[in-house]
Structure 1
Amino acid sequence: MMSMKGTSTMAKAAAIFSIVFLSLLVAGKSQLFSRTMSRQELGLKKEKLSHLHFYFHDTLSGRNPTAIRVAEAPTTNSSATLFGAVVVIDDPLTLKPEPSSKQVGRAQGIYASAAKEEIALFMAYSFVFTEGKYNGSTLSVSGRNPVPSAVREMAIVGGSGLFRFARGYAQARTHWLNFTTGDAIVEYDLYVSHY
């Protein structure tokens, strides 16, 4: 017959074994969190460079605005740069600068007035394409937009659909601006590396 001390020692050993065994199981499963893959596994072929050109219509005024201020600081309206204003957008993208031109997608996201001394926006938005071979694909843009500059450059930080693994840059040029309402038409050139 086994003594109480022997039973206690065996119980402790069994508990330690169980803890070690469970730890190994958990550690084994955590290895499934990530793995190295080849491009071929995802069907990725040769990388290409695409140039996209369109116009962005940012309308803050009227009965059907596509850009709406959703937040502001207590001092925003007394600031010369509207510092602290946050705007949500769902702006149409067209082939030509005329609003009646063929729509190729939407720009959806936010921008905020992020500079106290100059008019500069921080922009985080996606171009959602609705036409041609890129229909259903998106490009995500993030960066600083110093509005008075003739050409502004922002980073393309990713994409979806035919733009998976995208990277590149967007150049923005103001085509038209109403200083009273803030409405603007902006010409965009995108240079995108993707598969």
Structure 2
Amino acid sequence: MASNSWGFLSFFMVLVVTSAYPIKTKQYKPCKHLVLYFHDIIYNGMNKENATSAIVAAPQGANLTILASQFHFGNIAVFDDPITLDNNLHSKPVGRAQGMYLYDTKNTYTAWLGFSFVFNSTDYYQ
């Protein structure tokens, strides 16, 4: 009888210890792979109805409707572009890309870009 009690007590202690420290399982978080297109139409002095971006700063003496020089050095533009799921500008937008870019090198074509995406719905949340 004593060995039976000892076995039950051992089993009970193992059960208590294992339930006190649950095994951590890595929680699966679903990933989304999004392919998005944002369409940038720069204001050229004549397309104000269709323009989604405009030059707001340029080198001294430069025109604010035409990008400066070969590499556009010194230009700063802001944009509010439609985001679509394909490369067709006339597709239904799923959101907007809003931000700015500036051309920062004299002898090669480079740009610094800062923007955020604003979605129209919660379909792409998480």
Q: TM-score range by the shorter chain?
A: 0.5 to 0.7
The 2-side partners of 1:129 and 1:88 are apart by: 19
The 1-side partners of 2:76 and 2:29 are apart by: 36
Q: What is aligned with 1:80?
A: 70
Q: What is aligned with 2:96?
A: 106
Greater per-residue helix proportion: 1
Match of 1:55 among 28, 32, 37: 37
Correspondence list, 1:61-140, <5 A: 61=43, 62-64=47-49, 65-74=51-60, 79-134=69-124
TM superposition score normalised by structure 2? 0.63
Judging changes above 3 Å, is the alpha-carbon distance between structure 1 residues 75 and 118 closer, same or farther for their aligned structure 2 residues?
farther
Q: Which runs of 5+ in 2 are unaligned?
A: 1-26
Q: Which runs of 5+ in 1 are unaligned?
A: 1-44, 135-161, 164-195
Judging changes above 3 Å, is the alpha-carbon distance between structure 1 residues 78 and 111 closer, same or farther for their aligned structure 2 residues?
closer
Greater per-residue strand proportion: 1
Partner of 2:36, secondary structure, is strand
Identity of aligned residues (%): 36
The 2-side partners of 1:131 and 1:103 are apart by: 11
Q: Deviations over 1:32-69 (max 9, x none)?
A: xxxxxxxxxxxxx7544321112111011412211011
Q: Which amino acid aligns with 1:112?
A: L
The 1-side partners of 2:122 and 2:112 are apart by: 30
The 2-side partners of 1:84 and 1:119 are apart by: 11
Count residues with an aligned counterpart. Answer: 92
Q: CA deviation at 1:74?
A: 1.6
Select the structure of larger CA radius of gyration.
2
CA contact (8 A) 1:96 1:102 kept: no
Partner of 2:94, secondary structure, is strand
CA contact (8 A) 1:81 1:118 kept: yes
Deviates more, 1:108-117 or 1:70-79: 70-79
The 2-side partners of 1:102 and 1:94 are apart by: 6
Judging changes above 3 Å, is the alpha-carbon distance between structure 1 residues 71 and 78 closer, same or farther for their aligned structure 2 residues?
closer
Partner of 2:91, secondary structure, is coil
The 2-side partners of 1:78 and 1:69 are apart by: 10
Q: CA deviation at 1:117?
A: 1.6
